[in-house]
Each structure stands twice: as structure tokens, then as C-alpha cells.
Structure 1
Amino acid sequence: MIAAMKVTKEQSAANRKALVDAAARLYRERGIAGVGLAEISREAGFTHGGFYGRFASKEELAAEACGEAFGVSMARLEAQLTRHDGDLTALLKRYFSAAHRDAPGAGCPMATLGVDAAREGGLLGQAMSDGIAGYLRAMASHRPDGTVLEQPTADDEARAIRTLTTMIGGVILARACAEAAPAMSDRILRTSLATTLASLSGASAAG
């Protein structure tokens, strides 16, 4: 009996995760308002009723999906910072790539759900704020010269903000004009990458 209950709980957790994963991808592809609960349930392999009983509201699902997307994204960032002693070059090249631009459903949640979070507020706004804070903390704590800080300075925090805002803004603009003006979209990616790398190189030299 105990074993059966354990399996049931594990399956329930797996079903919930399937819904969160589906929502994380679809919301990043089309926005919160562009996806219904029935479509998310179908994508996860359930009927529409599969949503109910697992989440109190669509808002709760959106916030959890945002947090899930940030978890994947943060793991990549932290692995890059640790493996390359604070050097973000490889990560930035992937971030400012056509592949990332053209696959929002598997990409950065800040560049896809930031506007939704600003409009929705509430749980989604909190999940977005927590994710952004985590990104900034990780970037500020790892200087480009390889120094790891327990307490970043105001300059370190400013460096992190400059880097992150260029990343998000560059990808949003590149996506906005990718279909109508692909050459301009490519130039935005290339220029954003070069600008960010130059800024970090200057910060490393100053450090």
C-alpha cells in the first residue's frame, strides 16, 4: 500500500512537471495571453481537466513555468562562469546567435516573458524579479578576470546590469525585425555581441 502511494505521488509530480515544461515552452513562444490552458494540457499529454487540481490558477502555472525556465537558464550561466573563470564569451556568442533568436520557446525567459511579467505583475512578476535578481547576482559576483566575490561592489553590480540589459534588449530587437528585416536583425545581434564583449574586456582590464 505504501509503495503504491509513493508511485502515485511520483506520477503526480511527473504530471505536474510535464504541464510546467509545456507551459514554459509555449508561453515563451507566444506569450501568456497567446496560449490557453487546453493547449498546454494537450501539449503535456493530458485532457483540459488535467490542469485542475494541480494548479490553483493560470497565474500560478505561469509563475512556475517562468521559474522553471529560469532554472534551466541559470544553470547554464553558472556552469559557464565556473568553467571559464568568469569569462562569458562562449555564452554570449550563443545568446546573440540566430539559433537563439529563432527559438524563443527554448530560450531566455527575460527576453520572452519580461513584458508579460510587467503587465501581469503578481506571481509572474515576482518570479521574473527573482530570476533577474539571480542573474545579476551571479554576474556581479564573477568578474571577467576570474575573481569571485562574496560581496560585489556597486561597480560590479553596474557591470552586471549593463551586460544583462544589452543581452535582453539586443535579442528582443533582433526578434522584432527578424522577419521583415533579417539583415538588420543579424546586424543587431553582431553589434550587441561586439559591444558586450568590448565592455567586459574593458572591465577586466580595469580590474
Structure 2
Amino acid sequence: MRYPAAETAEKHERILDQAAKLFRERGFSGVSVSEIMKATGLTHGPFYNHFPSKEALMAESMQHTSQKAMGKFSAVENTADGKADFIGSYLSATHRDTPGDGCLIAALAPEISREPAVRGPLTCHLADFIDKMTSQFPWPEDKPARQQAIQAIAAMVGGLVMARAVSDEALSDEILHDVLAGLTKGS
């Protein structure tokens, strides 16, 4: 039975959304195709009507997530306050505690380095993130803006990864606070 194109597209989008969330929460190897399909309210069978493999789903879900993330930049003020708010939101307890809704780099970068199918989408996402950070926000003129954007992203991702990794909530909060302070002082 063939479904209308709009219904098929809606199902495809649901699969991508759920896959992206589950991958960020549990990693690529920590979630099965059956679990993703169940989360979308579909059975396992139609999966291969949408994707040739789990690896293809991984790559497309990353591209999908990246497009959504880059789209959020349009709502951020291109001021020093906007930059501080953006970095503050990134380095927040809320972001730390909800990896399924957060940054795909912080959630998946270590796994991505071992997954050839998704290295390309991550590379594109990171390049876009660098470009957006470079052009969206004002940067001090003592160093090139792109260099500062890369340094800020590296500190943000690293800080978030460290804050998620430790078992001591006070230390986790301290990491977030101190990385934020280092990135926003004198913005």
C-alpha cells in the first residue's frame, strides 16, 4: 500500500527527529533501529523504505539536526549580549542534562571519529557552526574572528563534555560556570 507523499515525508521527519534524539542520548551503538522505529510509533518493517541502512540514518539524522541547529542562529542577537546569552545557554545545566535535545558535537564527537558514515556530516556541521559563530557575533579585534570562534566552540564543547562526564554535580556546575566566565569576560 502506497501512502501519500506528505504522510511519507512526515514519517521520515519523525524518524529523523527520534533517531537524532536517541543517538545523542545513548550513542550510535546504544540504540537499535527497532527502538528508533518504536519511538516514532512505527514498526521496524518500514525502516528500509526510508533508509538503506542504519549508517544512512545516522548520517541523515545528523544533517537534519545540523540544519535545525543552524536555523536557531537567526533568533540570536548579533551583539555582545547575544553572544553571551548564546554561550550561556550552551554552557547551562539544562543543556548538560538534556543531551538528546542538545549539541550533536558534544554528544557524539568521540563516536563520530570512529564512524566513517557520519564524519562528513559532522565536518559540514562544524564548518557551519564556525562560520555562524564568526559572522554572527562581534569579536575583539586583537585576533582573527574565525580563530576566536574556533577557540570558543572548542571551549564550549569541551566544557560541556567534561561537565557531563563527572559524577560530582558541584564540580560539573563549576566547570560550566568557569568556562562560561572565561568566554564571556569582556565580551
Does TM-score exceed 0.5, indicating one fold?
yes
Aligned to 1:97: 92
2:32 pairs with 1:45: no
Distance 1:103 1:35 in 2: 17
1:88 pairs with one of 83, 86, 95: 83
Distance 1:159 1:78 in 2: 20
Distance 2:155 2:90 in 1: 11
CA shift for structure 1 position 143: 4.1
Report 1 or 2 for greater relative contact order, CA contacts < 8 Å, sequence distance ≥ 6: 2
Aligned to 2:178: 191
2:148 pairs with 1:156: no
* Superposed CA offset, 1:87-141 (max 9, x none): 311111111111110000000111011112111023x111100000001011122
Distance 1:67 1:191 in 2: 31
2:37 pairs with 1:63: no
Are the aligned partners of 2:83 and 2:137 in contact in 1 as well (CA < 8 Å)? no
Bigger Rg, structure 1 or 2: 1
CA root-mean-square deviation = 2.0
Q: Which amino acid aligns with 2:122?
A: M
TM-score (norm 1): 0.83
Tell me the SS of whatever aligns to 1:49. Answer: coil
CA shift for structure 1 position 85: 3.3
Aligned pairs (5 A) from 1:119-158 = 119-122=114-117, 124-144=118-138, 155-158=144-147
Q: Which amino acid aligns with 1:110?
A: I
Distance 1:20 1:159 in 2: 33
Distance 2:116 2:144 in 1: 29
The 1:139/1:49 distance shift into structure 2, 3 A limit, reads same
Q: Which amino acid aligns with 2:144?
A: D
Give aligned-pair identity as a percent: 34
Aligned to 2:113: 118
Where in structure 2 are there 5+ consecutive unaligned residues? none
The structure 1 segments of at least 4 consecutive aligned residues displaced by more than 3 Å after TM superposition are 84-87
TM-score (norm 2): 0.92
Distance 2:59 2:175 in 1: 30
Q: When the two structures are aligned, how many residues end up with a matched partner?
A: 184
CA shift for structure 1 position 145: 6.0
